Structure 1
Amino acid sequence: MSHSPNLRLCRADYTNPIHASALVGLLDAYAQDPTGGAEPLSDFTKANLPVALQARPTIFSVLAFDDAHAGLPVGLVNCIEGFSTFACQPLVNIHDVVVAASHRGQRIAEQMLALVEQLARERGACKLTLEVLSGNAPAAKLYRRIGFDNYQLEPSMGHAQFMQKWL
């Protein structure tokens, strides 16, 4: 595994058509992958996502472009600021981590997550959170390597489980 010397990282500008297109394209590819649910994004989501994200100041995204391939979009991390009541500080939830299949194994996600950490610190966040599917061993290995661990308060109570209820 090596770092790509032609990788360009940036915080996404949702009003920039290149960034908006990269965000939707990468997220749609992720959605169609088994780790993303194996279903494409809806036409509604594709048409409205950048504007919806721009309207929410608690959301930010990081993009990665491969300048050796004409600025090809190759990575995306979507983040949503939350709040830790125990610490009385913001936290940043890493909601999506996407690396194009053609560029996996180059530590692009690791580099994007380092930028996310920097941006979270600038926001005064006390921690980063994320969820990962139990069957996504490569992602879990990356997250553990860069310092993530299962969430727990009192060890005898076990670790947290991510749950959902559709509305």
Structure 2
Amino acid sequence: MGGGGALSDYARRHLIDRLRERPGVHVLLAFVDDLPAGLAICMEGFSTFACRPLLNIHDFAVLPQFRGQGVARDLLAAVEEKARTLSCCKITLEVLEGNTPARQLYQAIGFEGYELNPALGKAVFLQKKLAATLEGER
């Protein structure tokens, strides 16, 4: 689902090289009968509260023809295995409110809203977009 649109021309041309330049990026691919079926692009972060690394699932997708076959569940299990090998304290991700199938899967395998203090409620994900600064990045 994501943003609902295709990658920009700039992203299509440079994404793989830019990911390779970043330490702490882990790309996990799922295949069904030697056909690409899904991917998880994860990025290492750090929890100051736990004083341990964490793994954020930044991008997660399963191609439509492979949905409902356990590919997402298997891919998430592989992400968890990677996080454990890195001694991560947790795995984080963001999901759109309206993506009910994904939310149900995430909750079924143990993901829940981030909450430090029940009286203050769950965390909200915010962003501030910055103007494009790289040549050709639009």
Q: Is 1:37 the equivalent of 2:7?
A: no
> Mind listing any 5+ residue stretches in structure 2 that lack a counterpart?
131-138
For 1:137 and 1:55, the matched residues in 2 are separated by 34
**Superimposed CA distance per residue, residues 22-45 of structure 1 (whole angstroms, 9 cap, x where no aligned partner):** xxxxxxxxxxxxx22222111211
For 1:52 and 1:37, the matched residues in 2 are separated by 20
Moved more, 39-48 or 84-93: 39-48
Q: Is 1:124 the equivalent of 2:90?
A: no
1:156 partner SS: coil
Post-superposition, which runs of at least 4 consecutive aligned residues in structure 1 deviate over 3 A? none
Aligned residue number for residue 134 of structure 1 = 97
For 1:87 and 1:37, the matched residues in 2 are separated by 31
2:21 to 27, 44, 55: 55
1:65 partner SS: strand
How many residue pairs get aligned? The number is 130
2:98 partner SS: coil
Q: Which amino acid aligns with 2:71?
A: I
1:157 to 120, 123, 126: 120
* Residue correspondence of structure 1 range 1-167 to structure 2 within 5 A: 35-67=1-33, 71-167=34-130
Counting helix residues as a fraction of each chain, which structure ranks higher?
1
TM-score normalised by the chain length of structure 2: 0.91
Q: Which amino acid aligns with 1:51?
A: D
Aligned residue number for residue 29 of structure 1 = none
Fraction of identical pairs, as percent: 52
**Superimposed CA distance per residue, residues 48-102 of structure 1 (whole angstroms, 9 cap, x where no aligned partner):** 11111111121111101121xxx22110011011100000000001111100001
Q: How much has 1:163 moved relative to structure 2?
A: 0.8
For 1:65 and 1:47, the matched residues in 2 are separated by 24
Q: Which amino acid aligns with 1:87?
A: A
For 2:19 and 2:68, the matched residues in 1 are separated by 29
